C-alpha cells in the first residue's frame, strides 16, 4: 500500500509499504479521509520518539474483521463507515486500568499513529473492533474527521464541572481552540478566546465567543484585569502555560490540551497560593461528538483549510505548519 512514513527524522511517501496484518479482534479498515493534527506536527519535532506511519484522525470503511466470534458479533460494521478511538489497550484482567474500563491509561496500550502502532496516513489501518463507531449517514467524511478532536474537547465536560454562569477562556485560536470554543458554548457559559489571528477570532465569534487579539503575550490582560474560571491552553507552545496562569482565577482550573515536544516550566508558587487546579486533558468520548455533529449543533466545515491527496502528503504537512492554517485533510 501507499503510506506516509516518518523515519530517521524524515517524512516521505512510500509506494510499497507492507499492508497491516490484523490480529484476532481487530478490523482491517480502508482509509477514506484523514486529518493532520498538531500532535502529528509535534511528532516531526520528536514527540514520543515515534517512528512509522503517523496520523490518528480518520474516517474509513471496515473491510474485514478478524476472528470468527468477533466477526459474528460485529457483523453490522462490515462495509460501514467508521471512526475509531485511538488507544488500543491490553484488556487483560491483570491490568488495573483495563479492569476499571479506563482504557486510555492502560500502561501497555498502543496509540494509533503515536505510540507503537502505525497510523492513518496510509491506505489501510487496523484497530480493535471495540474501538470503532459507525458514522451516521447524515454526517459527511469531512465532518467525521473532526470526531476524535471533538471527543477530546467533550472530555473537558467530563473532567471539569463548569457552571453556565462561569467564564471559560480559550488560549489559542487554532484547530483545537476553535473546537473547544464550540463545545464549551453548548453549556451556555461565557466563552472568551485569546489568539493571534483576527480572521480566526472572527470564526469563533460566529458562535457567540468574545475574541481578544494577542499582540504582546508578556503584558496581555483582560479588561479590568478580570480572570476566568477555566482557562483551556490550546496554543501548541510551551509559553502558553505562563499566560494561562496569569488569566485564571484563584481556585480556577487550567486545562492543558496542547501536546508539545518542547519542555515548559511551571511556576508552582502561584498555583499553591491561588489553589489553582492544573488538569491534563486528551482523549474523550466519541458518542457525544458524533451526536452533536448529527444534530448539527456544531459547524466544523469552516475549519478546513485545504485537502490533498496522499501523494501530496509532504506538501500537506508543510501547509499544516504554516501560520494561519487550520485543518488540513489527506485523502488516500
pLDDT tens digit sequence for 275-303 = 999 999 999 999 999 999 999 999 999 99
What the block records as the C-alpha cell of 202 is 472572527
CB 241, CB 264: distance < 8 Å: yes
- CA distance linking residue 111 with residue 104, whole number of Å: 9
Domain residue spans of the chain = 3-146+300-331, 150-280
DSSP per position, 195-208: ES-HHHHHHHHTTT
Q: Which pLDDT does position 261 carry in this prediction?
A: 64
> Could you tell me the sign of the dihedral formed by the alpha carbons of 198, 201, 207, 210, in that order?
negative
**CATH assignment, 3-146+300-331:** 3.90.180.10
CA torsion sign for 185, 326, 111, 78 is positive
Range from 1-15, 53-67, 215-229 carrying the lowest mean pLDDT = 215-229
Radius of gyration of the chain (CA): 20
Q: Model-level pTM?
A: 0.94
Angle (CA) 41 47 49, round 5°: 125
- Name 26's bridge partners: 128
> What topology does CATH give the domain 150-280?
Rossmann fold (3.40.50)
Average pLDDT, the chain: 96
Q: Are 324 and 168 in contact (CB under 8 A)?
A: no
H-only helix segments in 3-140: 38-43, 68-73, 96-99
Amino acid at each position: 500500500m501507499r503510506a506516509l512514513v516518518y523515519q530517521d527524522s524524515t517524512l516521505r511517501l512510500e509506494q510499497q509499504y507492507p499492508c497491516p496484518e490484523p490480529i484476532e479482534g481487530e478490523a482491517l479498515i480502508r482509509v477514506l479521509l484523514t486529518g493532520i493534527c498538531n500532535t502529528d506536527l509535534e511528532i516531526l519535532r520528536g514527540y514520543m520518539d515515534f517512528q512509522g506511519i503517523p496520523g490518528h484522525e480518520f474516517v474509513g470503511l471496515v473491510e474485514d474483521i478478524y476472528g470468527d466470534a468477533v466477526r459474528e458479533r460485529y457483523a453490522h460494521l462490515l462495509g460501514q463507515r467508521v471512526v475509531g478511538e485511538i488507544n488500543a489497550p491490553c484488556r487483560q484482567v491483570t491490568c488495573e486500568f483495563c479492569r476499571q474500563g479506563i482504557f486510555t491509561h492502560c500502561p501497555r496500550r498502543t496509540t494509533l499513529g503515536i505510540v507503537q502502532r502505525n497510523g492513518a496516513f496510509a491506505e489501510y489501518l487496523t484497530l480493535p473492533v471495540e474501538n470503532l463507531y459507525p458514522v451516521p449517514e447524515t454526517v459527511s467524511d469531512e465532518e467525521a474527521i473532526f470526531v476524535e478532536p471533538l471527543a477530546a474537547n467533550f472530555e473537558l465536560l467530563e473532567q471539569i464541572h463548569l457552571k453556565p454562569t462561569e467564564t471559560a477562556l480559550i488560549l489559542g485560536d487554532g484547530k483545537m481552540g476553535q473546537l473547544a470554543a464550540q463545545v464549551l458554548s453548548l453549556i451556555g457559559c461565557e466563552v472568551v478566546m485569546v489568539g493571534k489571528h483576527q480572521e480566526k477570532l472572527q470564526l469563533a465569534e460566529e458562535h457567540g465567543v468574545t475574541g481578544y487579539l494577542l499582540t504582546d503575550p508578556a503584558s496581555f490582560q483582560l479588561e479590568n484585569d478580570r480572570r476566568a474560571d477555566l482557562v483551556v491552553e490550546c496554543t501548541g507552545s510551551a509559553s502558553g502555560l505562563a499566560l494561562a496562569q496569569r488569566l485564571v482565577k484563584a481556585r480556577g482550573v487550567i486545562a492543558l490540551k496542547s501536546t508539545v515536544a518542547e519542555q515548559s516550566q511551571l511556576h508552582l508558587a502561584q498555583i499553591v497560593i491561588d489553589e489553582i487546579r492544573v488538569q491534563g486533558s486528551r482523549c474523550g468520548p466519541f458518542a457525544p461528538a458524533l451526536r452533536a455533529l448529527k444534530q448539527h449543533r456544531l459547524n466544523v466545515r469552516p475549519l478546513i483549510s485545504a485537502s490533498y491527496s496522499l501523494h501530496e502528503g509532504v506538501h500537506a504537512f508543510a501547509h499544516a505548519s504554516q501560520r494561519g492554517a487550520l485543518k488540513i485533510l489527506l485523502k488516500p
